[in-house]
Amino acid sequence: MGMRVGYARVSTVGQKLDVQMDHLADCDRIFREKASASSTKNRPELKSALDFVREEDVFVVTKLDRLARSVVDLSIIVQRLEEKNVDLVVMDQGIDTTTIYGKLQFNILAAIGEFERGLIRERSLEGRERAKSRGVVFGAKPKLSSQEIVELLKDYETPGCSKREIAEHYGISTSSVYRLYYENKLALSA
């Protein structure tokens, strides 16, 4: 049997961890932090806890909102736990993946999370397509105008003109000089 590893979090400095710590008292180790749930990156103690847990451990939190900011975030965290063969217990919501009923309940939540991620991806693609049809161009704005590219092509083919000098003159990298030359030479010869 593995360890019970607890995780407690409050969002603001003024809040206290006391209530969560009382609920997690039977854990072998507790990770605690005062941080917003905006992302796992901004919660170093959560990352440490997820790195710490080992096969057959049980990861314990008092409430889902202490662990994740969204269903998508939750499903990512749970996937990490599943990969390590670690169970999850969420005390206030009665989720306990050490039981078959808890696993069923949690798999339903995970399926909803996957569905939500799919919807977000789909909406994002639809939005990009609508924007493209209206003429929106994605990506960085070109550093050189079409006239400057024509001049660059001439400079490139001028004997004795170094590629480094060309790059400095146009404020771009040497690799961009080569790329622009070959992209535009191919386009002009096609």
188 CB-side CA count, 13 A: 10
User: In Å, how far from its chain's centre is CA 1?
Assistant: 32
Structure tokens at 160: 């004795």
- Amino acid identity of residue 44, one-letter, is P
Residues known to be catalytic: 11
Q: What is the DSSP-derived secondary structure letter of residue 86? A: -
Rounded to an integer, what distance in angstroms lies between the CA atom of residue 65 and that of residue 1?
Answer: 27
Structure tokens at 176: 């961009």
Structure tokens at 57: 């451990």
Rounded to an integer, what distance in angstroms lies between the CA atom of residue 55 and that of residue 8?
Answer: 21
Give the H/E segment covering residue 35. Answer: none
Rounded to an integer, what distance in angstroms lies between the CA atom of residue 112 and that of residue 99?
Answer: 20
Closest C-alpha to 78, from 113, 44, 54, 43? 113
